[in-house]
Structure 1
Amino acid sequence: MTRVLELLVSLLIVAVLIVVVGALLPNHGHVEREVEVSSPLRQIFDSVNTLRRFPEWSPERRLDPQLRMEYEGPRTGVGATVNWSGDESVGKGSVKIISSEEDSQVKMEVVNNFAGENKTYTITLNPSENGKTTRIVWAYDVDYGWDLAWRYAGLYIHGKPDATVQTAVANVANMLASFPNVDYKDQDIQEVEVVGVPVLVLSTKAPRTLDEVEDATYTSIARIEAVMTKYGLTQAGPVRTVTTNWGDDNYVFDVSIPVDSTTFMLDGTEYTINAPVLSDTVEDILEEEDAAPLMLGDYDEDGYLIIEDGVRAKISYSGHALVTEYSGSPAALPLLRLQLKAFSETHGYLYSEMGGGRFWDEVIETTEDGEQTFKVTLPVEP
């Protein structure tokens, strides 16, 4: 009996010690890690002010490559949310932006399977004095309250929670390094909905000088205008320059002119301009070694309608796009394209520089003294 009492007293003492020690443990946990990057400050802010880039920096994605994600709320800023579910290593959770200060700080509410409640990420951006680099400080905070199990779990905050923060900040740095290193802070970039229109297209190329690109453009315009006149079509919008390849030596591009009708007549036959769709039948014909030369009414490998003299027709891109405008020399157009690419990257828009996803430029205004205003468009997925 005495031994039983001694055992009970010992267990009671241990229990009291556990409670006393637990009560003395911190009721709050904090971990932070940092990295210094050379990306423009606005790029860094935009990249963490959206959760559309979550797949790139997510520590959970590293643990479970098959992680399933769903987005809610706005694309950027307060309310932007991503919910995830994965294997047992990550479980279910979410991240939601709850406060946002431009170029300064983003705070996120975190729900995961770590111990505690009121879990948050606070991402603070500290530019250097010379403005060439920025220190990203990524903090994780959690409350344990009076839950003793959580308080004891807090002793291991420098385990998995610490590793999670370190992974996130390192992944963000690597992600930023893959973006075009251009600052678009002062360039007004908007998301718009583009409506496709019938266009006549002529592919060309020129050495990468303003004069030779201009000469090649005017030559192509003249050829397209001759076809338009022959087929009774009228220009219905600004000439578009569609970038195919901005090479080291040559610029490969399409000159594209909107026209006023999707149909035209020749020798009593009506032809219809459609959106480019390459059917299996057309693809089989194009693959035949002895295929006859393409003639008026045929479709080429891009699904464009063949007309003549290298001129083709199609319905142009229709859908979401990023656009920006600029007044000045056309020499700035390559920079504007890079700014659009960087903006799309940091905001999580998907784009492709192939087919219908290519950039196009338009001259939308020319002043009396010859200054031109350009509109540059990049098709993106919403």
Structure 2
Amino acid sequence: MKKALRIILWIGGIILALAIIGAFLPGNAFVSRSITINAPASTVYGVLNDLKTYNSWMPWNQKDPYMQVQYAPVTEGKGAWYKWKSNHREVGEGQLTITESIPGKTVTTSLLFEGFDEPSVGGWELSPKNGVTEVTWRMDANMGHNPLNRWFGLFFDRMLGPDFENGLKQLKEKIENGTLKPAEPKLSLEEITAPAMQVLTIMDTARTMADVGPTLQQAYGEIGELVKNQQLDLTGMPLSWYYTGKEPYVLEAAIAVNRLPKTTSGRIRFRNVPPTRSVVVHYYGPYEKSYLAHDHIREWLKSSGNKAKGAPYDVYVDDPTTKKSMYEVRTDIIQPIE
């Protein structure tokens, strides 16, 4: 009996010692691996920014063919997520969310594993050079206050590093052999007479492409308040003019309304837009690739002998939150012509 008691006390002492030591171990663990892919950064970014491609190269997705996966309504870009559930001991259960996407540069994710209090922050950084792209996959995990998780953190790099290497190897192989590639936008062009509009507008500047969305959202919010307060009716979808084609972007956010407001406030201005002979490209794809539509218009102007008349403007025909993919979202890029 005494011997058994000593064994129990000895085991308890070891557990207590491990718990005490664990409390003083680092609260964060980090893993990072890199590889060079013989492809432009735009191609690599397009794959990483689309969660539907992950089954083709993500190592954990391939360990359990019976893994249950649930996708968000939108699977590309910021806010896209998927949840997984598996009985495989190396896969488990969790959720991955894209928290930030900067075209051609980074895709940042939040990864929450079952049993952890805080999500791990990670993602991919792209460094293009001479037509190839160095891809760095990183993860910074908050191990929380659980001593067992902190002990696990000591082996984080050793345990996950090989999976990172395997995933990057598959990503490289499948991008380079063409079996894995991003979806391409769809475009169609036609000549139209753009209708007359009465619009409330705000002029602003977005420092980078990543700032364009938040800048427009802020402007539309301000205009929306005026529309609500003065009980105006909307007569079209949100639109915006772009006065520069490179950073920083000088733009004018606008919303078409049914009548002249009694007063305007702050940055908001009102103006009439006359009907104009125009060329329009109906573009289906992510906003960051809409430059393809502008390129298409420039090529058409050159080949047709027509001349642009003023700045082009974008009409956001579809709400991205109502579509499963950004490649189903329509934007009309309209260029007035002489």
TM-score, reference length from structure 1 = 0.45
Q: Where in structure 1 are there 5+ consecutive unaligned residues?
A: 193-319, 330-362, 370-379
Letter in 1 for 2:42: R
What displacement does 1:68 show?
A: 3.4
Counterpart position of 1:271: none
Equivalent pair of 1:97/1:108 in contact (CA under 8 Å) = yes
Q: Where in structure 2 are there 5+ consecutive unaligned residues?
A: 189-282, 286-291, 307-325, 329-338
Counterpart position of 1:84: 84
Q: Deviations over 1:182-201 (max 9, x none)?
A: 999xxx94478xxxxxxxxx
Q: What pairs up with 1:273-352 in 2 under 5 angstroms?
A: 326=296
Q: Distance in 1 between matches of 2:94 and 2:57?
A: 15
Counterpart position of 1:119: 120
Distance 1:122 1:327, change over 3 A: closer
Q: What pairs up with 1:145-294 in 2 under 5 angstroms?
A: 145-179=144-178, 189-190=185-186
Distance 1:103 1:11, change over 3 A: same
Q: Distance in 2 between matches of 1:180 and 1:88?
A: 27
Q: Distance in 2 between matches of 1:41 and 1:123?
A: 11
Distance 1:61 1:5, change over 3 A: closer
What displacement does 1:72 show?
A: 0.8
Equivalent pair of 1:116/1:142 in contact (CA under 8 Å) = no
Q: Deviations over 1:260-304 (max 9, x none)?
A: xxxxxxxxxxxxxxxxxxxxxxxxxxxxxxxxxxxxxxxxxxxxx
What displacement does 1:124 show?
A: 0.8
Equivalent pair of 2:53/2:180 in contact (CA under 8 Å) = no
Q: Distance in 1 between matches of 2:182 and 2:56?
A: 21
Distance 1:161 1:23, change over 3 A: same
Letter in 2 for 1:174: E
Q: Deviations over 1:42-65 (max 9, x none)?
A: 111121122121111222222012
What displacement does 1:78 show?
A: 0.8
Equivalent pair of 1:29/1:154 in contact (CA under 8 Å) = yes
1:367 aligns to 2:267 (yes or no): no
Q: Distance in 2 between matches of 1:178 and 1:53?
A: 15
Q: Distance in 1 between matches of 2:24 and 2:146?
A: 12
Letter in 2 for 1:64: D
Counterpart position of 1:101: 102
Q: Based on CA coordinates, which of the two structures has the bigger radius of gyration?
A: 1
Q: Distance in 1 between matches of 2:35 and 2:135?
A: 5
Distance 1:18 1:126, change over 3 A: same
Letter in 1 for 2:145: W
RMSD over aligned CA atoms reads: 4.0
Counterpart position of 1:136: 135
Letter in 2 for 1:38: N
1:64 aligns to 2:64 (yes or no): yes
Letter in 2 for 1:106: V
Distance 1:93 1:11, change over 3 A: closer
Distance 1:133 1:27, change over 3 A: same
Equivalent pair of 1:104/1:126 in contact (CA under 8 Å) = yes
What displacement does 1:118 show?
A: 1.6
TM-score, reference length from structure 2 = 0.50
